């Protein structure tokens, strides 16, 4: 199998993706589900930046039978990768002109409003076929999905239900990673709505939703982030295995002394003589500029704080604490105790944005499961 691996050149930052850890994370989540509940995998945005073509087959081999992506284009590629067996759901639904592409690739649109439902009912009338679809019910996100009134109306609409083969009703939690009343309220609304869809499997929980208790599991869980090592229970120890290691080589080592400054805008000024290293990764690689003067790298047991601004292609780090560091050595930016959630917090964002922002310039190495 082509894993997409390219051996890194000595001056290239390298992203190592542990496919075995992803499979273990999926199995770990599945084992938390109530008996009879299936575990899907969300592999949208190229498996959160980690490479859906490598990740999805490993999850299928682990036993995953249902996959979710955001876009039709992602789904077409995924179908080619996975072959005919798994269910592939498209969260963004189906816009006019796309409806015939779904059955051509055996893809399932998640219908998000009455217009999309009417589109598929029209398709059914035109083709004489009964298209498969999922239905998104909005229980509080105000993002995608039928309103509770629309959902109740549709549940009673016999003609449409005969025309369309609804294989899943689902909703999405807005605050699953928090302990708050909104989770209970969304659960209550969803349980009420899905009662109108007896016999149709139901799905509510994302990664964090799995940890809210078995009553949130319904028939199918839809984890994404936790598969890729993001902590689904912030503030508590991460039950997931780390998946990504990012290393960057040292291009140059030098001394700076007061009153010299480092980088664009001269935002760091040396107050003492120090040894600094320039490493080959920058914001063009998706390493956020928000980590300027805040991020850190690791080498051996030493922490190497970022000095000054993150540039497009390079970052300068304080290497005073790592006297053995040499040009060509690799420092670690993710992995070795640096977790994606902490990096994200330092950058003022979330792990999801860090992973999906990882650029195309890295050497990517998928470690086989
Ligand atoms: C992205 C997404 C998921 C996965 O959420 P995670 O927090 O990454 O587990 C599940 N359901 C829907 C509708 C989504 O958009």
What is the tens place of the pLDDT at every residue in 41-75?
999 999 999 999 999 999 999 999 999 999 999 99
Contact (CB, 8 A) for 246 and 335: yes
- Best residue among 32, 43, 91, 238 to mutate for probing ligand 1's pocket (most ligand atoms within 8 Å of CB) is 91
With cut-offs at 50, 70 and 90, classify the pLDDT of residue 1. very low
Left (φ > 0), alpha (ψ -120 to 50) or beta: where does 199 sit? left
pLDDT > 70: percent of the chain: 98
Residue 199 has, within 13 A of its CA and on its CB side, a CA count of 4
| Averaged pLDDT for residues 283-301 | 97
With cut-offs at 50, 70 and 90, classify the pLDDT of residue 219. very high
pLDDT tens readout for residues 324-333:
999 999 999 9
Q: How far is the CA of 138 from the centre of ligand 1 (A)?
A: 14
Q: Tell me, what's the pLDDT at 266?
A: 98
Q: Measured from the CA of 136, which atom of ligand 1 is nearest?
A: 13
Beta-strand relationship, 244-256 and 220-221:
unpaired
Active site residue 228: no
* Burial per residue of 183-194, b for 16 or more beta-carbon CB atoms within 10 angstroms, e otherwise: beebbebbeebb
Contact (CB, 8 A) for 26 and 246: no
Q: Measured from the CA of 223, which atom of ligand 1 is nearest?
A: 9
For residues 10 and 231, which has the higher predicted lDDT (pLDDT)? 231
Residue 3 CB contacts under 8 Å (≥ 6 apart), including other chains: 19, 54, 365, 366, 368
CA 358 remoteness from chain centre? 12
With cut-offs at 50, 70 and 90, classify the pLDDT of residue 9. confident
CA 27 remoteness from chain centre? 17
Contact (CB, 8 A) for 191 and 170: no
Nearest CA to ligand 1 atom 10: 206
* Burial per residue of 5-14, b for 16 or more beta-carbon CB atoms within 10 angstroms, e otherwise: eeebeeebbb
| Averaged pLDDT for residues 223-234 | 98
Quote the tokens at residue 131.
Answer: 């298209």
| Residue 279: burial class (beta carbons within 10 Å; 0-12, 13-18, 19+) | buried
| Averaged pLDDT for residues 171-180 | 97
This model's pTM is above 0.85: yes
Quote the tokens at residue 284.
Answer: 């063009």
| Averaged pLDDT for residues 150-168 | 97
Whether residue 4 is predicted with pLDDT greater than 90 in this model: the reply is: no
Nearest CA to ligand 1 atom 13: 172
- Write out residues with Cβ below 6 Å of ligand 1: 42, 44, 91, 172, 206-207, 222-226
Q: Give me the residue label for tokens 């500029």.
A: 289
Q: How far is the CA of 225 from the centre of ligand 1 (A)?
A: 8
Whether residue 176 is predicted with pLDDT greater than 60 in this model: the reply is: yes
Average pLDDT, the chain: 96
| Three-state SS sequence of the chain | CCCCCCCCCCCCCEEEEEHHHHHHHHHHHHHHCCCCCEECEECHHHHHCCCHHHHHHHHHHHCCCEEEECCHHHHHHHHHHHCCCCEEEECCCCCCCCCCHHHHCCCEEEECCHHHHHHHHHHHHHHCCCCEEEEEECCCCCCCCECHHHHHHHHCCHHHHHHCEEEEEECCCCCCCCCCHHHHHHHHHHHHHHHHHCCCCEECCCHHHHCCCHHHCCCEECCCHHHHCCCCCCCCCCCCCCCEEEEEEEEEEEEECCCCEECHHHCEECCCCEEEEEECCCHHHCCCHHHCCCCEEEECCEEEEEECCCCCCCEEEECCCCCCCCCCCEEEEEECCECHHHHHHHHCCCHHHHHHHCCCCCEEEEECC
Q: How far is the CA of 361 from the centre of ligand 1 (A)?
A: 27
Q: Tell me, what's the pLDDT at 10?
A: 86
Closest CA to 165 of 196, 131, 199, 197: 131
Contact (CB, 8 A) for 308 and 267: yes
- Best residue among 68, 134, 139 to mutate for probing ligand 1's pocket (most ligand atoms within 8 Å of CB) is 68
Q: How far is the CA of 31 from the centre of ligand 1 (A)?
A: 19
The Cα–Cα gap between 59 and 26 comes to 7
Active site residue 48: no
Q: Tell me, what's the pLDDT at 55?
A: 98
Q: How far is the CA of 308 from the centre of ligand 1 (A)?
A: 35
Contact (CB, 8 A) for 155 and 197: yes
Q: Give me the residue label for tokens 């995924």.
A: 78
| Averaged pLDDT for residues 19-33 | 98
Q: Tell me, what's the pLDDT at 339?
A: 97
Residue 305 CB contacts under 8 Å (≥ 6 apart), including other chains: 295, 296, 317, 318
């Amino acid at each position: 199998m082509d894993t997409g691996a390219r051996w890194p050149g000595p001056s290239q930052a390298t992203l190592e993706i542990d496919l075995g850890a992803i499979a273990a994370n999926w199995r770990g989540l599945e084992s938390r589900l109530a008996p009879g509940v299936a575990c899907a995998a969300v592999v949208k945005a190229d498996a959160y930046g980690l490479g859906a073509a490598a990740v999805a087959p490993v999850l299928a081999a682990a036993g995953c039978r249902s996959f979710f992506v955001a876009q039709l284009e992602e789904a077409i590629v995924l179908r080619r990768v996975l072959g005919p067996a798994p269910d592939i759901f498209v969260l963004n639904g189906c816009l006019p002109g796309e409806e015939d592409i779904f059955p051509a690739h055996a893809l399932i649109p998640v219908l998000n409003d009455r217009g999309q439902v009417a589109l598929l009912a029209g398709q059914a009338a035109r083709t004489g076929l009964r298209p498969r679809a999922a239905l998104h019910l909005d229980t509080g996100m105000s993002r995608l999905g039928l309103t509770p009134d629309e959902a109740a109306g549709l549940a009673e609409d016999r003609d449409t239900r005969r025309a369309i083969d609804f294989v899943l009703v689902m909703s999405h939690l807005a605050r699953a990673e928090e302990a708050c009343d909104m989770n209970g309220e969304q659960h209550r609304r969803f349980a009420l709505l899905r009662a109108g869809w007896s016999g149709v499997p139901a799905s509510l929980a994302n990664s964090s939703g799995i940890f809210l208790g078995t009553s949130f599991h319904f028939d199918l869980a839809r984890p994404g982030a936790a598969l890729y090592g993001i902590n689904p229970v912030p503030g508590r120890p991460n039950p997931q295995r780390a998946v990504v290691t990012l290393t960057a080589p040292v291009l140059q080592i030098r001394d700076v002394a007061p009153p010299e400054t480092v980088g664009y805008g001269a935002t760091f000024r040396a107050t003492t003589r120090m040894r600094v290293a320039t490493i080959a990764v920058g914001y063009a690689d998706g390493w956020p500029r928000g980590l300027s003067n805040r991020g850190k790298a690791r080498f051996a047991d030493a922490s190497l704080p970022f000095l000054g601004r993150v540039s497009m292609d390079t970052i300068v780090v304080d290497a005073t604490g790592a006297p053995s560091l040499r040009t060509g050595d690799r420092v670690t930016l993710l992995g070795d105790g640096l977790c994606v959630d902490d990096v994200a917090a330092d950058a003022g964002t979330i792990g999801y944005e860090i992973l999906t922002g990882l650029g195309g310039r890295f050497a990517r190495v998928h470690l086989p499961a």
